[in-house]
Amino acid sequence: MNLRLDSALKWLVVSVILLNMPIRPVVPFPADRPANRAGASAQPELPSGPQIRAAMEWFASHRAWIDDEQARLTEIPAPSFEESERAAAVKVLLSAVGLEVSTDKAGNVIGLLRGESDKELVILSAHLDTVFPAGTDVKVHRDKSRMTAPGISDNGAGLVALVAVARALHEARIQPRRTILFVADVGEEGEGNLRGMRALVDAYRERLKAVIVLDGSSIDHVTTKALASRRVEVVITGPGGHSWSDFGIPNPINALVRGSVRFINTRVPSSPRTTYNLGQIEGGTSVNSIPHEARLKVDLRSEGDDELIRLESALRDCIAAGIRDEMETARDRSKGKLEWRLDLLGSRPGGELAPNSPLLATLRAADEAVHNQSRLERASTDANIPLSLGIEAIAIGAGGNGGGAHSLQEWYESDGREIGLQRVLLTLLGASGIVGEKS
């Protein structure tokens, strides 16, 4: 008990000290960081000075504006492939802070902040799209600092951070050394299959030095490892008929169910972590018709490439066995048999940031500057694309707290958001470098 009281007291004292400490915009970078011992190119020197301080302070003095814009953007529906209306709203916001804004063929909105040189580029991105289909009620309900709406965190928090950071740099008249592209990109979620980021990296690959992806709110982790995934659709077709008079002909839904039951009994290892999800199932036209089609969408993920291949072939085997079972038990095969195929909906490549990555060292310095701690994580994000090509990339949250991502109860609380935004700003400028005051 004493021990617990003791440590609780210590914690309290430390908390009080921390709470009373002014947030230093920039601290010197300690000499003995592990990243440096591991051989990082140079000790990252975060930019500092009155302009940086002004930019850092901008967030707290515009808290209400940031909250309001987040709510406004979230209320513009943006399912993957239907992002254009929300994209137009972001375009207006980025244009208002003096960026040269364009929209590429994919639908990405790109705001260019010209650096001293545009031979080298840094991208700060946030995805526009949500997993919620058209027609979903996306009205934001606000209660003090809490906002509730589908997509409010993922990626309302990231999108508004993109705009807020661009605006803070503008107000503080900061010019980067490397050119910065502020990008609101399309097609991150689900069947979007990272198409926006693929187009971006394709277009700028030669000059691209770093990609910082803003996704969600959490600042307690940083995604440095890209989780490989495959999304597939099983399609089974058959003759179809009347539930009573044609009873006994092979039924595609039966076959799909038989195959699915086999598949969900497949054992997957916990290391490398490997997962599957039967995410969407459809087929049939009415209760009293034998369907002529059944479809199933499956998401497969693994930390190991071999496991991913194994899992996909297990799915094929199970579906094939389900078809066989259904055909064998069919009483009437005269009207035709079942056909099936497996379509690839999306494939996200894996990849990893090197432990001695300069971008990671910069993020660590930014963490230290805002007194934040974050752990490394593996996830499936827009960063998969640059990471798979060996381009420096991370995905980070934009600050505040959130939860219930991809659910109708998704929520966000903006308390403490400034720390997240400062962390983004410092990491971005650490990656781009800055030049002196604009004339």
Residues engaged in binding Zn ion (CB under 5 A): 154-155, 215
Which of 47, 175, 195 has the alpha carbon at shortest distance from 112? 175
C-beta of 154: minimal distance to Zn ion in Å? 4
Closer CB to Zn ion, residue 74 or residue 155? 155
C-beta of 223: minimal distance to Zn ion in Å? 11
Instruction: Show the tokens assigned to 364.
Output: 């660590």
What crossing angle do the helices spanning 84-95 and 63-74 adopt, rounded to 10°? 160
| CB distance 252 to 369 below 8 Å | no
Closer CB to Zn ion, residue 69 or residue 154? 154
Cα Rg of the chain (Å, integer): 25
Closer CB to Zn ion, residue 169 or residue 395? 395
* DSSP state string for 335-363: T---EEEEEEEEEE--EE--TT-HHHHHH
| CB distance 200 to 140 below 8 Å | no
Q: Is 212 exposed, middle or buried (0-12, 13-18, 19+ CB in 10 A)?
A: buried
C-beta of 394: minimal distance to Zn ion in Å? 14
Closer CB to Zn ion, residue 155 or residue 388? 155
C-beta of 196: minimal distance to Zn ion in Å? 12
Closer CB to Zn ion, residue 364 or residue 423? 423
Residue 101 falls in which region: left (phi positive, over 0), alpha (psi -120 to 50) or beta: beta
Q: Is 292 exposed, middle or buried (0-12, 13-18, 19+ CB in 10 A)?
A: middle
Number of other CB atoms surrounding residue 359 within 10 Å: 25
Which of 419, 418, 420, 422 has the alpha carbon at shortest distance from 60? 418
Closer CB to Zn ion, residue 215 or residue 326? 215
Instruction: Show the tokens assigned to 254.
Output: 């039966």
C-beta of 308: minimal distance to Zn ion in Å? 21
C-beta of 173: minimal distance to Zn ion in Å? 31
Closer CB to Zn ion, residue 155 or residue 175? 155
